[in-house]
Chain A
Amino acid sequence: MRRGWAGLSVVSILVMVFLYGPILVLVLYSFNAAHLSMAWRGTTLKWYAALLHDDALLAATANSLLIALVSTFGAMCLGGLLALGMEQMPHRRQRMIEGGLVLPLVIPEVMMGVALMLFFVMLKLPLGILTVMLGHIVFNVPLVTIMIRTRLRKLDPALREAAADLGADSWQVFRYVTLPLLRPAIWGAVLVAFTVSLDDFLVTFFTAGPGATTLPLKVYSMIKSGVTPEINALSALLLLISMACVALSLHVQRREV
C-alpha cells in the first residue's frame, strides 16, 4: 500500500489540523486586543487580567475545585474498594458488575442529569453543591473502578503469593505489595476523576440548582449571553488546566514502577 501512503498521510495531517486548529485559534484570540471584531488589533493580556477581577468567576472556580476534590475523594474510596472487593468474586458476578459499571458511562449524560435531578427533588434534597458532589461521584466511581481493576488484572498473581509465602498476612500483602504496585493506577485515577469532575457540565447543570455555580456553568452562561474576549481567555486557561492534568496523569501511569 506504499503508493497510497502519501494520500493517507495528507488526509491524516488535515485531520490533525482540524483537531487542533480551532483550539489554537481560540488561544490566539485570547491575546487579541480587539474587543468584538475578529480583526487583529495587537497583543494584550488584559482579558486575562479582567478574569482575575471577576468575583463571580472566582467563586465559581472555588466551587468547582471543592466539588472536584470531594467527588474525587469519594469516588476513590468507593471505586477503589469496589475494584478490590470484586477480585475474589465468582467470574460471572464480576462480569455482571462490570457490565453495570459501563452503563453510567454509555447512557447520555442528559439522562443521568435529569434522573439525578428528579431523584433529589423527590427526596426533597435542596439542589446545591452537595447534590452536585453526589452526582459527580456517580460518574467517577465507574471510571476509578475500571482503571484500578485494569491494573489489578495486570498484576502477576505470583507476586501476592510470593508475599504470602514469605510470611505476609493478608493485610501485609495488601500494604507492602498490592498497594505499592497499584500506586500509578491510583494517581492516574485521581487525576482523571478530578479532570472529569472539573470539566463536567451536564450533570452539574441539572443538579446544581440556582445557588451553586461552577466554572463550566459560568462559561456556559457567558457563552449564551454573547461571545466576549474574556471567554476566550477563560477557555484558554481551562484548556491549559485540562491538558496539564492529562499530561500529569499519563506521566504517573507510565511509571510502571
Chain B
Amino acid sequence: MATSSTPPFLASDQSLSPTPSTIDVRGIVRRHGAVLAVDQVSFQVRRGEFFSLLGPSGAGKTSVLRMLAGFEDPDEGDLLIDGRSMLGVPPNRRPVNLVFQSYALFPHLTVFDNVAFGLKMRRVASTLIEAQVRQALTMVKLFGKEARRPAQLSGGEQQRVALARALVNKPAVVLLDEPLAALDQQLRQAMQVELKSIQQQAGLTCVCVTHHQEEAMMMSDRIAVMHQGRMWQVGSPREVYERPCNLFVSRFLGVSNELPGRIGAPIGEDRLFQPIDADQPPLTVRTLTSEQAGRPATLSLRPEQLRMARERPATSGPVLSGRIEKVLFAGSDTKYLVRVGPERVWETRMTSDASLPSFAAGDPVFLHWSLPDGRLFFE
C-alpha cells in the first residue's frame, strides 16, 4: 500500500519531513445526525511526535480521537496508521491505546492487573507480562503499588496507571483524551512536565486532545487548532501562537488586542491603516500581500508585544495613545488594562520589577510595538 503523504491543505504547516507518518488522516467527515461534528479534517503525525488537537468543547476534537481509537467510524475520508487503513478495524485490533479522560481504570482489578490487561488479552506469556508491567510501572514511578485497587490511589496516581496501562502495550500511537483535566492546578503542572518527559524517554507518538491552550503549547511538538468541526491551523506552538491564521485562532491561543480599521495608502513597502475609532491617528502596518486600499481588516497584537511609555516614543513605528484603566498585580507580572478607544481596552503585561517605571490607573500612556509584530486579519 502506498504511503503517499498528501500535502496538508493548510499552508502554515511548513515543517513536513519526508519520513513516513505514523498517522495519516485524509479528509475525514463525521456527522452526528444533521450536525457536522468533523468536517474534512486532514493531518499527519510523525513517529515520536507529540501532537495536540486543541479547541473549545464541541470543536470535534474528541470525535477525531474516537475515530482514531475505533469507537466511531468516519462517514467519509480515510484514516491510516502505520500505512494501514483503519476503516472497519475494531478498537481491539488497532495499534493504538487510549488514555481516557476519566481514566476508566477497572475498579475490580489491582494496579498490576489493570496494567497487564492489554497484554493478557493478547495472550502474552505470563513471565513476560510480569516484566513488562514492572517496567511500565517503574516508568510512571508507581513501582511498589501493584497490589492496590484504583480507589486506593490519588488522582495523580490513577492518571499514571492509566498511562502505564496504555504504554505497556507499546502501541504505535498513544491517544490522550484531556489527560490532565481531572487533576488540580498544581498536580496538573507537575504532570505536564512528567508526561512530556515520559513521552520523550519512551519515544512515544502521542495524539492529545485538550481545550487548555497553555497545556497544549507546553507539551506539544505541533498543535492543530479545531473549531466547529474544522481544523483551522496546524503548526508548532510558536507558529500558531505568533502567527495565527485567523482571529479565532488568535483569540483562542491567548489574549488578542484588536483594532478594526481599513487599509490605507502605501508608504514605501508598508501601508497606512486607519482605525475605525475616529480619535486614533492612522498607523503603519505591514502586509505580505498587496491589498486594495479601503479593505476592512483587524489589527491584532499580543500583550507581550506591546511596550508602554509615558511620553510619545521617538520611533517611526506604530504608536497608539491611551489611558490606564486598571492595574492588576499578579505576582511576577503586572497586568495593565489600557483604554485605547471608547469601546476598546487593550491588555499589556510588565514584569513586576521595582526598578522599572511604575504606572497607575488614570495615567495617559503610549503603546508602541515593532512593525512586523502587528498581525492583520481580513474578513
Contacts and interface: CB of A to CB of B under 8 A. Distances in A.
A176 interface: yes
A180 interface: yes
A166 B90 contact: no
5 contacts: A158-B100, A159-B104, A161-B69, A172-B121, A176-B121
B97 A166 contact: yes
B97 A165 contact: yes
Contacts of A165: 69-71, 91-92, 94, 96-98
Give the contact-size bracket for chain B.
Answer: 20 to 34
B298 interface: no
Contacts, number: 64
Interface residues of A, number: 19
Given A165-B94, A167-B122, 7 more contacts: A163-B121, A164-B90, A165-B71, A166-B97, A166-B169, A167-B121, A176-B117
Given A158-B102, A161-B100, A166 B108 contact: no
Contacts of A172: 121
A156 B104 contact: yes
Contacts of B98: 161-162, 165
A193 to B, nearest CB: 23
A196 interface: no
Contacts of A161: 69, 71, 91, 98, 100, 104
A181 B106 CA distance: 9
A169 B97 CA distance: 15
A166 B100 contact: no
Given A167-B92, A168-B92, A169-B92, A162 B106 contact: yes
Contact of B108 (A167, A169, A257): A257
Interface string A136-170: 00000000000000000000101101111111110
A159 B122 CA distance: 18
Residue of A163, A164, A167, A168 ringed by the most chain B CB atoms within 10 A: A167
Contacts of B70: 164-165
Contacts of A164: 70-71, 90-92
A134 to B, nearest CB: 35
A252 interface: no
Interface in A223-257: 256-257
Nearest to A183: B108
B117 A166 contact: yes
Contacts of A166: 92, 97, 117-118, 121, 165, 169
Contacts of A156: 102, 104
Interface of A: 156, 158-159, 161-169, 172, 176-177, 180-181, 256-257
Nearest to B115: A166
Contacts of B96: 165
B370 to A, nearest CB: 49
A256 B151 CA distance: 11
Nearest to A172: B121
A167 B169 CA distance: 10
B159 to A, nearest CB: 14
Nearest to A158: B104
Contacts of A257: 107-108
A177 B94 CA distance: 19
B169 A180 contact: no
A177 to B, nearest CB: 6
Nearest to A177: B106
Contacts of B169: 166-167
A100 B364 CA distance: 75
B322 to A, nearest CB: 50
Contacts of B97: 165-166
A181 B108 contact: yes
A156 B118 CA distance: 19
Nearest to B97: A165
A162 B107 contact: no
B91 A159 contact: no
A27 B274 CA distance: 96
Contacts of B94: 165
Contacts of A168: 92, 117, 121
A180 B117 contact: no
Contacts of B117: 163, 166, 168, 176
B256 to A, nearest CB: 36
Contacts of A163: 106, 117, 121
Interface string B40-54: 000000000000000
B112 to A, nearest CB: 14
Contacts of A181: 107-108
Interface in B77-127: 90-94, 96-98, 100-102, 104-108, 117-118, 121-122
A156 B122 CA distance: 24
